[in-house]
Structure 1
Amino acid sequence: MFKYIARFALFAAVCSAAYAQPVVGKEGVLTDAAGRVLYVFDKDSAGQSACYDKCAALWPPFAAAPEAAATADYTLVSRNDGSRQWAFRGKPLYYYVADTEPGQTTGDGRGGVWHVVRGGAEQAAGTPGYSPKGY
């Protein structure tokens, strides 16, 4: 557990400087500007995060700058501490602390509730991942 906390601390320091809107990266996978893959959590409801404390230590939220503005698919979710995180079609976005390099997707399918996000129309036919239903 300590190694995850140490990784999170380093990861949080790097991510806090990179307040950017999500982008559709390689193979239609949603990433940040540096290519780090983004995930959604099945236990979240639209516009509301359910991932705090220990969960957020392993799955850090994809933070949004105070001046960030929502667009069509990319919205903002307020967290309990007053910070905001990016959401894709209403689903809050997260990193996985064990993904140590851009493009890694080691969190995909974790616990049956964490999924890589694919950017809608850009998703290649037949590729695995999460594309929110009903949007």
Structure 2
Amino acid sequence: MKTLMTALSLLLCTQTVLADTMPARTHNDILTGSNGMSLYTFDKDTAGSGKSVCNGPCAANWPPLMAAADAKTVADYTVITRDDGNKQWAYKGKPLYFWVKDSKPGDTSGDGFNNVWHLARP
């Protein structure tokens, strides 16, 4: 019994650490940033390419989910290098973005924008 309790305690601690280190969270079946804002993917990005094609004016409207310079892959989240050299999070190989017109957590106004932007889903 003591071994089982120790194993369960270790599992719970591991899950807590992973939840705290994940770059995004799941809320109502969509990915959100730590600020609670909805995250999106862009059809023109190629999954697994390690690149974002949303740069310059595009990134002003669709701010990337930035990663720290020393960020490392965790679970399905990888780090890509943007054209400007900054790091960005990707989920299952697709770069993640916010939408500048979402004003509060729970907003999803960018979903379907120009038929190429979609809510990021786990």
- What is the alpha-carbon distance in structure 2 between the residues aligned to residue 45 and residue 52 of structure 1? 14
Q: Which runs of 5+ in 1 are unaligned?
A: 1-19, 120-135
CA deviations 1:66-104 (Å, max 9, x no partner) are: 222111211111001110100010000000000010110
Structure 2 counterpart of 1:69:
72
Alignment partner of 1:34: what SS? coil
TM-score normalised to structure 2 length: 0.77
Structure 2 counterpart of 1:124:
none
Q: Which has the larger radius of gyration?
A: 2
Describe how 1:1-135 pairs up with structure 2 within 5 A.
Answer: 21-25=23-27, 27-46=28-47, 47-119=50-122
CA deviations 1:13-64 (Å, max 9, x no partner) are: xxxxxxx711112x12100112100000000112211101111110011100
Alignment partner of 1:86: what SS? strand
Alignment partner of 2:36: what SS? coil
- What is the alpha-carbon distance in structure 1 between the residues aligned to residue 101 and residue 67 of structure 2? 21
Q: Which runs of 5+ in 2 are unaligned?
A: 1-21
User: What code does the residue aligned with 1:44 have?
Assistant: D
User: What code does the residue aligned with 2:92 have?
Assistant: R
User: What code does the residue aligned with 2:26 have?
Assistant: V
- What is the alpha-carbon distance in structure 2 between the residues aligned to residue 66 and residue 22 of structure 1? 17
- What is the alpha-carbon distance in structure 1 between the residues aligned to residue 106 and residue 73 of structure 2? 25
Percent identity at matched positions? 49
Alignment partner of 1:55: what SS? helix
User: What code does the residue aligned with 1:77 have?
Assistant: I
Structure 1 stretches of 4+ moved >3 Å: none
- What is the alpha-carbon distance in structure 2 between the residues aligned to residue 109 and residue 64 of structure 1? 25
Q: What is the Cα-based RMSD across aligned positions, in Å?
A: 1.1
Number of residue pairs the alignment of both structures matches: 99
